[in-house]
Amino acid sequence: MKSIPEPLIFRKNKLYILDQRKIPFKEKYFVASSFCDVKVAIKNMILRGAPLIGIAGAYGILLGLRKKFNLDNFYKMKESLLLLRKTPYNLNYTLSILERLIKNGAGYKDLEKEVENIFEQEKIRCERIGKNGFKIFKEKQYKKILTHCNTGKLATGGIGTALGVIYKSKKIIEMVYVTETRPYFQGARLTSYELFKLNIPFKIILDGEASFLMQKGEVDAIIVGADRITQDGYLANKVGTLSLAISAKEFGIPFYVASPVSTIDFNTKGIENIQIEERRGDEVKGWGKTKWVLENFDVIYYSFDLTPPYLIKNIITDYGNFNPNELKMVQFHEERKEFTNA
């Protein structure tokens, strides 16, 4: 089994960020020496994935506070980061931890230690999600799995969320169908890259091909990650997720979400309060120097969509497996730092 490179490495006050735009052809690192460098990396999709954005943002704050350690500077950087990616929630989660520490008088070294701990905790969460998901997959004997976008090490730093479940279930899985995930091709480029490294059989499919595969009986279960989950079970995830969930319902296929508690927004209910990021249309018009759409043609590109809870079979978390209407139980255990069913 070939190893997947570390997506983030913090060394000597520099954050080395694996440039995911170059995967699978090159494994090259972008070196961030400042808060602004980390902002550029997040904005320009050098890194992505809700948990990893949360971790990278925390390291960015750390780099920024090295030069000017005070609460006002923290708030300026926090506001600036949250404007970059409005839908993913993990950034809110990690920055709230740092904010609480600074308010309680923590120094720079304390924050540095806490950011390292946040990174390690996300890895532990991924392991627990993988084990909890494996219980379901083993019991149901799911062999043909469909997944969307990228939810592995490149998105989390650990073994992944949805891909973590697939990794833990690799002995019973016969095939993983990977949606290409337009327009950045996170599935075709990143998920396939990780599955290849992990020696798990896979086939890349067109985004619009998924429903037909379900109709043909080629899919036993669908599992995706999450960018934000509301307290009442609405899922914000990579655009295309809603279409998969609707098709899964039509063809009687279970639809699972794998998510750490750091992605659950316990302060928000329903879909009306979730900001859905609308990205630049030119990202849809081509790749690099190759263009397939004329510059003067208009494009609508919502990076995420919203899936209602009634379409979700289970949410697999680091605290156990829950129906969407049971997320209050997850909050209960998180507040007490208790793990259940793990």
User: What letter represents residue 195's amino acid?
Assistant: L
A 10 A CB-CB count for 289 gives 5
Cα distances from 206 to residues 104, 179, 203, 221, 316, in angstroms, run: 50, 6, 10, 17, 26
Question: What's the burial of 319, exposed, middle or buried (CB within 10 Å: 0-12/13-18/19+)?
Answer: buried
Which is catalytic among the residues 207, 227, 265, 305? 227
| Cα distance between the two ends of the chain | 26
Cα distances from 177 to residues 64, 126, 214, 243, in angstroms, run: 41, 21, 11, 16
Backbone angles phi, psi at 175, to 5 degrees: -155, 140
Token pair of 193 as six digits? 């890259």
Q: What is the C-alpha to C-alpha distance for residues 204 and 188, in angstroms, rounded to an integer?
A: 6
Rg (CA), the chain: 19
Q: Is 227 a catalytic residue?
A: yes
What residues are annotated to the active site?
A: 227
